[in-house]
Amino acid sequence: MPKLWAVWSEADPPSGARSLNLLADKFNQLGVVVDPQLFELALTHRSYAYENGGIPTNERLEFLGDAVLQIIVTEYLYLTYPDLPEGKLAKLRAAVVSSAALAEVARELKLGKLIKLGKGEIATKGDNKTSILADALEAVIGAVFLSGGMTAAEKFVSDLTVPKVKAAAEMGARLDPKTELQELAATVNLLVSYRISESGPDHKKVFSAEALVGDQVYGRGVGTSKRAAEQQAAAEAVESFRA
């Protein structure tokens, strides 16, 4: 039985034994050791915490993991593509660390089956939601960093993202919507801004975003995170702006 099982009781283990074995094998191949309690925390969604007495969630680890991911990918791009200007490096990074890209990696790792979710999220297939998967993967990166330092984090992140970087470079690193909107707005000397509102209970927030170019609203979006709502609003704004 993998050591990562240690913190789950046998009466209530994660539903995905095969998923856990897959991730444990990945850690073993890379020589990465992850603290089991940090690993469990990384996979504890706020909806589960809310239904179980307000226990700690993975949000702080996600915050840390996001920063670790950014610096590792940025350093890799800087060293690997010495001739690329800052703008193109930024586009490559955005293509690799976007929620969509991270969720794709999480699905490859079958991470969704391991995430502890509340009943509401389970009912709405939260284990396959892009925002939940992306956030959990960032939290796992944070757990790896705290367990083994930057060396372990670099091994894990590089293994997951280098193929994505190469694919993005070969495809020309299509811009994420927010970056593309900023570049379009710059052609007419206008700034992009976002108006955010939120609704719903703390464990199931829904965010609404409006994307403005200058003082005009060009797009609207809704998501389970501010980032997701802004991305959706930006994508609609790009289409409107080009029309």
- Active site positions, annotated: 66, 138
Of 188, 179, 172, 174, which is closest to residue 234 (Cα–Cα)? Answer: 179
Distance CA 177, CA 188 (A): 17
Distance CA 153, CA 142 (A): 8
Q: Which two tokens stand for residue 173?
A: 């690193």
Determine the 3-state secondary structure of 194 from DSSP.
strand
Q: What are phi and psi of 79, to 5 degrees?
A: -80, -30
Helices and strands (H, E) in the chain, number of each type: 10, 3
Distance CA 2, CA 22 (A): 10
In sequence order, the 6+-apart residues with CB closer than 8 A to the CB of 86 are: none
| Radius of gyration of the chain measured on its C-alpha atoms | 19
Q: Which two tokens stand for residue 30?
A: 């890379």
- DSSP letters, 116-163, are B--HHHHHTTGGG-HHHHHHHHHHHHHHHHHHHHHHHHHHHHHHHHHH
